[in-house]
């Protein structure tokens, strides 16, 4: 009971800390906005090095309680490659994803086969996708409709209203809250073509490693999946914690199907 109360308090603080209070909505020039958005993209990529970390995903479905999953991820952004290995619970252990040559493959040790996957697919039933853990290209794939300064809690942010200019995107419209000084994403809203809010992501804090900024935690809310409890709408959400960060060089075999198969049998 005590753990549940603490968890609810943490999530409540995350959401309340990222509530928006607009202050003199000052617009940025087109050149300033473009430069900051490129800085934001750069902050999500770890070029010139490999990246590895442990992920804990705690999903909460209204009225159904919580489930916890764990995974380890390896990234080599210079090659647009990554590997995700599920480490828990026991029913998911050995499952994995691997991306190389612009293709994503999912492996299930139950049938010992690889099948095509997509960056749009949910990560093992959670509200997250693999795209939530990979580099972003907002400046290349979206056009800036507007960029204005706002306060997000105590953070001085620029709010980008973005519209896709290519088809190869997960969401046709995105709204980003980015801190002015470092270009880090603090909040994101994903919209459908009709303007319906689909998902909300909060990234309240980052951890610094070797000059890189890595999220400490993320909260992803699915604004389409929920139910009314005590006359209050509650949505599915996944709380993600990132730990054991490393930028050590990995073997090339880590980013192969062979490696995923080998690790699934351990």
Domains along the chain with CATH numbers: 2-264 (2.50.20.10)
pTM for the whole structure: 0.89
User: What is the greatest pairwise CA distance in the chain?
Assistant: 57
Report the pLDDT averaged over residues 134-138: 97
Residue 21 has pLDDT above 70, yes or no: no
Report which of residues 5 and 197 the model is more confident about. Answer: 197
Predicted confidence (pLDDT) per residue in 32-75, tens digit: 999 999 999 999 999 999 999 999 999 999 999 999 999 999 99
What integer pLDDT is reported at residue 1 of this predicted model?
47
Residue 5 has pLDDT above 70, yes or no: no
The number of beta carbons lying within 10 Å of the beta carbon of residue 93 is 18
With contact defined as beta carbons under 8 Å apart, do 203 and 215 qualify? yes
The number of beta carbons lying within 10 Å of the beta carbon of residue 236 is 19
Tokens standing for residue 168: 């190869």
- What confidence tier does 265 reach under pLDDT thresholds 50, 70, 90? confident
C-alpha–C-alpha distance, residues 166 and 236, integer Å? 29
State the chain's mean pLDDT as an integer: 91
Peptide bond between residue 89 and the one before it cis (omega within 30 degrees of 0): yes
Q: Which helix (H) or strand (E) holds 61?
A: strand 51-61
Residue 205 has pLDDT above 50, yes or no: yes
């Amino acid at each position: 009971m005590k753990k549940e109360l603490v968890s609810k308090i943490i999530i409540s603080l995350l959401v309340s800390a990222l509530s928006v209070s607009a202050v003199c909505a000052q617009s940025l020039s087109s050149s300033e906005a473009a430069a900051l958005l490129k800085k934001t993209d750069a902050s999500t990529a770890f070029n010139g090095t490999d990246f590895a970390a442990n992920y804990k995903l705690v999903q909460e479905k209204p009225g159904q309680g919580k489930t916890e999953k764990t995974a380890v991820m390896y990234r080599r952004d210079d090659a647009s490659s990554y590997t995700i290995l599920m480490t828990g619970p026991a029913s998911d252990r050995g499952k994995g994803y691997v991306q190389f040559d612009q293709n994503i493959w999912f492996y299930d040790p139950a049938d010992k086969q690889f099948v095509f996957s997509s960056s749009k697919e949910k990560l093992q039933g959670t509200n997250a996708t693999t795209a939530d853990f990979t580099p972003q290209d907002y400046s290349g794939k979206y056009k800036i409709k507007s960029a204005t300064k706002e306060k997000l809690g105590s953070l001085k942010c620029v709010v980008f209203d973005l519209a896709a200019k290519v088809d190869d995107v997960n969401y046709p419209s995105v709204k980003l809250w980015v801190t002015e000084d470092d270009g880090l994403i603090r909040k994101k809203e994903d919209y459908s073509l009709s303007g319906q809010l689909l998902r909300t992501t909060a990234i309240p804090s980052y951890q610094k490693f070797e000059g890189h900024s890595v999220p400490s935690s993320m909260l992803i809310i699915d604004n389409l999946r929920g139910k009314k409890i005590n006359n209050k709408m509650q949505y599915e959400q996944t709380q993600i914690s990132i730990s054991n960060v490393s930028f050590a060089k990995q073997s090339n075999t880590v980013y192969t199907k062979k490696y995923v198969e080998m690790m699934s049998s351990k």
